[in-house]
Structures are given as structure tokens and as C-alpha cells.
Structure 1
Amino acid sequence: MFNKKKSKKHDIKKTVKSAVREEIKNTVKSTIVQDFLDSSAESIEKNDQIETDLYIKNNVKRGLRNANGTGVVVGLTKIGDVRGYDMDSAGNKVPIEGKLFYRGYSIEDIVQNCIDENRFGFEEVTFLLIFGTLPSKSELEAFKKMLGAKRELPNGFARDMILTTPSNNIMNKLARSVLALYCYDDNPDDTSISNVLRQSINLIGYFPALIAYAYQAKSSFYDNMSLHLHNPIPELSTSENILRMIRPMGEYMDIEAKLLDLSMILHAEHGGGNNSSFTTHLISSTGTDTYSAISAAIGSLKGPRHGGANIAVINMIADIKAHVPDFNNRGKLDDYLVKLLKKEAYDKSGLIYGMGHAIYTLSDPRAKLLKSMSKKLAENKNLVDDFLLCDYIERRTPQLYAEVTGTEKPMPANVDLYSGFVYDALDIPITIATPLFATARLSGWCAHRIEEIVAGRKLMRPAYKSVQEPREYISMKHRHSSHATKK
């Protein structure tokens, strides 16, 4: 008995020692790998640097922008038109009030008609963008039924593709889900207009469920929250289905759904030059399938320089509230806004998010429309102070910017300032702010994909000029390591 106990203790000690040795070995391996990656990164950064003056010397339009900040014209479109400035004879920008047109129709007229008739308008705008004409009442009803028939995901998709493989990032899950839908399509690679139109309608119908179920899976798996799965209702609008499926009890007020609908109308399209719409044109020019093109557009929108601005606004407002609890104290609020501009607060970027735009100079028409509706929601939900904070940031930022930099320039509020407020007021989780943007912009992406197939008909192939000088090849025995090994 004694020997058995001694033997068991010996085995345990041996196992523990073995486990410790293995852990040390893995830690050493991990450290060596990390050292290699760090030194490689330093080497790559050095090798890939290109001097700024070479871009100027070779007349490179960095970021596809001209020297005056305007975009390089790479195509033509009938879908959307963004007007934020005129050009004088010397090629300088002349600030004007911003205008946005969908298929030639002013966004103000589209939105105002929906408000006057107290109805949802996102489905009408989707029809307009894709088909190029305003729908009749019967055409719109038929289109809504087609979308309604695709509100439910294919059999087993939610379980197999979303719930069993959740992602902590819903944009990542959205892109993967779109690619997975390729496998559920009996004719995925056909790029005829009728087939791409079918695929577009299917995707637009599916998107509310895709983001809602991805959010629920993420909340359950990563955040230890209860899993609430609601079936979509075909008869409901896109915004109503979204609110119903992301909320535990599926409840929502009409004003909430109408404001979300308005936000989606304003985000549906913004010309062919924005990064994700251009990505759609670029990928579609290769002749690839719809699912690949749309997932690429989602990847573009996922980038914080493009689609993440509304999240930046929400986080910035929360930061302001944390540091200036009484934001009715305008003196302290000004002091903090100045700190933001001086890169002394929040993310130290020197930016006040929600202010300024690459195209709009005097005003962003989307911000003006959303602000008007936001005020009504603020009054309804007792959030007037929060709304007034956004209003103050809008009015005061240009003045403070001039004081800090000594430069006066037009700096309008952009749509993200008030869409951030709207999402917060609607208790929409910050993790689905950008996916909501994608759900709205999908209508524009599908329209741009079809336009590229119809009118583009040429593989996009821009040029990159090499600035690497020719080098003589070095045989293996004469080479030295380019990576500094860390001790």
C-alpha cells in the first residue's frame, strides 16, 4: 500500500513537472515567434516606406484625390449625386449648401413626402435606387411582398451559420453570412441582370435577420446575456423588423421605427465615390458573383475611416458626459471641446466627431433632416438635454476650431452627429451601429453593382508606378539576416 501511494505521488509530481516544462517550452516558443514578428514588422515598415515627395514628383493622386481635395473622377453614375461645393475658374472650391439626390430626386423632397404622409419610406427608396424610377402604389406593394417573402433566412441558416459560429464583431459575421448565402443559391454565379436583381432582393430581405441574429448570438456567447430570437414578420417594414428582432420583448414605438426608417433612407446612397460603393463597382468589374461583391463592400464599410464614424460619435459623447457631468455648464463644456481639438482628450486625434465632411462644406442635408426628427424623439423620450448637447457641439465647434487653430473654415455637422444620437436614443447597441449602416447602404450597393454590369463593362485596372530601384540578386551563402534577433 505504501509503495502504491508513493508511486502515485511520484506520478503526480512527474505529470506536474512535465506540464510545467511544456508550459515553459510553449512560452519560450511564443516569445521567439513574437520577437520574430516584431522585428519583421520593423523591417517591413522600413522597406515599405515611400517618401512623400515621390508622390508629388510622380503626380500620384493619393487616396484617389486631386490636390484640391476633390475626388478623382473614375466613372459615371445615374444613381446618386452629392453636391457640397462649386468650382471657380481657378479650380478652387466655392462652399455651397449641401444637396443629395437619389436618381435625380432631392433627398429633402423624398423625406418630406414620407413625413407628410406619415409612412415608412426605406422600401420606396430601395425600389427607386435599384429600378431607377419612383414606384406606383401597386408596384411598391408588390415589391414589399417580394422583400417580405425573404425576411426569413434559408432553412437551418441561422442555426448552422450564425448561432453555432458567433463572432464578437457583427460586421465580420455579416460579411461571412453573405458569403455563406452563396452556398444556398442554386444559381450563384449568373451575372445576368434578372439573376443579380433576384439576388439583390433576397439579400435586402435577409439583412434585418442577419444582423439581429448575429447580435443575439454575440450577446449570448460573448456577453453572457439571454438569447432572444424573434421571427421576422413579412408585413412589417425593414426598420420595424430590425427593432422587433434586436429587442428582448420585440416592442417598439411607431416614432422609433419611423426615425430609424428615416435614418436608413438617409444612409441608403451617397454617390459612387464613397469607398464601399466604389468597392462594389471595382469588384463587380471582375465579373464575380453578387455575394463576393457585397461582402467586399461590407469589409470596406467595416473600416473605422469609413463606416465607423457613428460609433466614434457615440463614444465621444459618452466621454464628454463622463468628464463634464453638468454639460449645461457651457464654460466647462467649451474647455473640454478645446481639449479635444488640442489632442488632449478622448482619443487624442484632434477631431470632434460628427463635424465636417469631405464633400459638404456649408451643410449636410442628411444632418439637417435627421436633426429635425431627432428633436421630436428627444421630446418624446425625455432626452432634450442630450439633443441640446449635440446642437451645441454643432454650433460651437467651428468657433472653437477658429480660436484654437487661427483658421476659419466652414464646418457643418455631418449625418453621424445626429445618427449617433438617434441610435443612442433608440437604445440600439453600439455593436450594431455600423451593421445598420450596412443594411441601409445595401440598397445603394446593389444599385451600383447592377449599374456596373450594365454600363461599366470594363475591368478596372488602375496603375501603381514602381519606385523600387533594380537590385542585384544575392546568393544564399552571401546573405545576412535582415531581422534583428531580440535577446
Structure 2
Amino acid sequence: MTATRGLEGVVATTSSVSSIIDDTLTYVGYDIDDLTENASFEEIIYLLWHLRLPNKTELAELKKQLAKEAAVPQEIIEHFKSYPLNNVHPPMAALRTAISLLGLTDSEADVMNPEANYRKAIRLQAKVPGIVAAFSRIRKGLDPVEPKEEYGIAENFLYTLNGEDPSPIEVEAFNKALILHADHELNASTFTARVCVATLSDIYSGITAAIGALKGPLHGGANEAVMKMLTEIGEVENAEPYIRSKMEKKEKVMGFGHRVYKHGDPRAKHLKEMSKRLTNLTGESKWYDMSIRVEEIVTSEKKLPPNVDFYSASVYHSLGIDHDLFTPIFAVSRMSGWIAHILEQYDNNRLIRPRAEYTGPDKQTFVPIDERA
């Protein structure tokens, strides 16, 4: 047996949910460009879970189910209120704990038939936006905002986060961001979720495990790191010396390159366009201009194109979202993909148990403790 570090290039399972072939991302065979320009996030949820697009009646029913389950349980609200009132609590740790707590409030948590798992899927997808928004407000000493039944997920999240109705362009931008982050084949958090539920653990355990994987800066935290970099740069004229200094020190410039894509992340261009529109709308085009300059330098010097995280940073900043909420927002979207893969794993399960190439010492003999040096 020979190990492959990071399982790079290893095909671990079959899946009908999404694919990355020749730098093209598809959800159930639909090109991500087509879906981003034409679909709502709710349509993507249905597509990933049912492996087909909904008709009008099916979409209306899904929206109705999601709206019915959107309220955040009081147990989670009280849990967040028990935190000391400051901004130091890591939002991803809070989200991870909240999802685990959500499982404790669900009487069907350990009921494993397909119907119960689908009901739990609805609850998870419906509640996670409100959980993130409620945490954000409570840590600032603000009361949570109840979602509006007539709003979709994108509009409701911005409304419950900021307490005011978002503009149409803000809803459009966030809807596109949700679609673009919804699934991405066997990324680290999705694989973690599948490994967890392959033991026939419950869906809440699978999602909690996935959030733990997403929390790492090499996965979900990249766009927050990008915004930190842009903030440090400050102005467009500072971009070139800042980036060249980083490259001279051989420091990583976050938001560029990808393990799977060789010629560019197909999702990046959509967020690049939304960054341009939003920063212009807010009168802070410097964030977009800085991003463009950084992209020019890195792609010229390193031949690394931007990935989806690079322009999502300035998009989320322009929507008035706290920087440390960028990764929890990733989870709001990726919940749809995690659930799709979990349901697929349950449907055709086999315990995931790889082997390891042993590299330790060989043929050792036990020495009694009194004889050891």
C-alpha cells in the first residue's frame, strides 16, 4: 500500500450530486454559470436533494416547508445569550455548538428512516440562516429578528441580520453567492460529513462534523483572510508593494489557486461582477479596485487565478456583514450540499474505512519498565 498525501487524485466514491470536470462545475449536470444566472437558491436546494429541478408546485411546497421551520428554537437563543456580551466568541464555534444543540431539541434526531431524515434536512436548512443571524445580533446586545414568511432564504438572511429590508441588488448578490457555494463535490467538509454518517450516525452529527472541518482556514476561512488582507492594504496604491513583499517572504496570498481547478475557478467571475456592482453602489469601489490590482499581480507572477473566496470577501463586506461571519455564511449555503451528500450516503451506505501506509519502526521488542533508560 502506498499513501497519497491529502488523498489528492483519489476517487473515494460515486456521486450524482455535483461534478468538477475539465474546470467546469455542475450541479446534477447543470453548469454553474447557467444556474447562477437563472435560479433561486431554493431551486438549487431542491435540485441537490432530489437530483432534478422542481416544477412550480414543488418549489412552492419547498418554500412553504422552509418558511414553516425557519424560526430559531428558544433553547438556542438562550444559549447564545448565556455567552458574555462581547465580540470575541468565534462564530464558527458558536454555530457548531448550536447545530449540535439543535439535534438535542429534535425528537426525531435518531429516527433514521428516509422520511424523518428529509424532515430533519428541511429543519436544518431552514434554521441555519436564522441561527447565524441571531448569534450576530445577540453578541451585539440586539434582539433577534423574526424572518418574514414571504421572503426567500437570501432576502430573509439579510433582513434578519441587519433588521432592515435589503435592496434588490443585495438580494441578487447574496442569492448568487449561496448558489455558488452550495456544493463542491468531495471537498473536505462534505467528505467529513459522509465519513461521519457512513457509521450510521445521525444527520445532526454529520453536519456538526462538517462544520468542524469548514472552520479551518484552509477550507472555509479563506474569504475572511482575504478581507483581512484587503483591509491591511487599505488603498489601491499600496497593493503592489504589499503583495510583492508577501511573495518575497514566500507567504501565501489567500484567495488564489485551487487543489482541483487547474485553469481557474468558474465561480469567481460571478462574484467578481457582483463585487464591482456592490462596491460601486456603496461608494467604496476601492475594495473592488484593490482586488483587481492584487489579481493582476498574483496571476502575472504566480500564474494562479482567483478562486471563489477572493471576490466573495468584498461582496460580503459590501453587504454589511461582519468579517468573522463569512465562514458561517458559507455554512448557510453549503448546508444544502452537505445534506444532499448525507442523504446519498444513507441511500447506498458503506462504512468508509481507508488504510494507512505504515512508516513507523519495525520489529520492536517490549522492554520492561525497570529496564528502560
TM-score, length basis structure 1: 0.72
Question: Of the candidates 183, 202, 209, which is equivalent to residue 296 of structure 1?
Answer: 209
Greater mean deviation of Cα atoms: 186-195 or 311-320:
186-195
Letter paired with 2:123: N
Q: Which residue of 1 aligns with 2:136?
A: 215
Question: Of the candidates 59, 63, 66, which is equivalent to residue 2 of structure 2?
Answer: 59
1:165-244 equivalent positions in 2, closer than 5 A? 165=83, 168-217=89-138, 219-220=139-140, 226-244=141-159
Does structure 1 residue 152 correspond to structure 2 residue 71? yes
Does structure 1 residue 463 correspond to structure 2 residue 346? no
Q: Which residue of 1 aligns with 2:33?
A: 108
Does structure 1 residue 425 correspond to structure 2 residue 318? yes
- Could you tell me whether the CA contact under 8 Å between 1:151 and 1:233 is conserved in 2? no
Q: What is the deviation of 1:396?
A: 2.5
Question: Of the candidates 16, 21, 46, which is equivalent to residue 127 of structure 1?
Answer: 46
| CA distance in 1 between partners of 2:227 and 2:2 (Å) | 38
Q: What is the deviation of 1:388?
A: 1.9
% identical equivalent positions: 33
- Could you tell me whether the CA contact under 8 Å between 2:257 and 2:305 is conserved in 1? yes
Provide the secondary structure at the position in 1 that maps to 2:267: helix
Q: Deviations over 1:271-304 (max 9, x none)?
A: 1x21011111111110011110110000000011
Q: How many residues align?
A: 369
| CA distance in 2 between partners of 1:451 and 1:318 (Å) | 41
Q: Deviations over 1:233-267 (max 9, x none)?
A: 222111222212222x4342221122111111100
* Greater radius of gyration (CA): 1
- Could you tell me whether the CA contact under 8 Å between 2:223 and 2:312 is conserved in 1? yes
- Could you tell me whether the CA contact under 8 Å between 1:158 and 1:213 is conserved in 2? no
Provide the secondary structure at the position in 2 that maps to 1:365: coil
Letter paired with 1:257: V
CA 1:453–1:379 in structure 2 vs 1: closer, same or farther (change >3 Å)?
Answer: same
Letter paired with 1:443: S
Q: Which residue of 2 aligns with 1:142?
A: 61
- Could you tell me whether the CA contact under 8 Å between 2:239 and 2:290 is conserved in 1? no
Provide the secondary structure at the position in 2 that maps to 1:100: strand
Runs (5+) with no aligned partner, structure 2:
none
Q: What is the deviation of 1:314?
A: 0.5
Provide the secondary structure at the position in 2 that maps to 1:82: strand
Runs (5+) with no aligned partner, structure 1:
1-57, 66-70, 86-97, 115-120, 221-225, 344-348, 402-409, 481-487
| CA distance in 2 between partners of 1:433 and 1:159 (Å) | 21
Question: Of the candidates 234, 239, 256, which is equivalent to residue 333 of structure 1?
Answer: 239
Q: What is the deviation of 1:458?
A: 1.0
Q: What is the deviation of 1:73?
A: 0.5
Letter paired with 1:161: H
Q: What is the deviation of 1:143?
A: 0.4
| CA distance in 2 between partners of 1:412 and 1:392 (Å) | 13
| CA distance in 2 between partners of 1:358 and 1:276 (Å) | 14
Q: Which residue of 1 aligns with 2:170?
A: 256
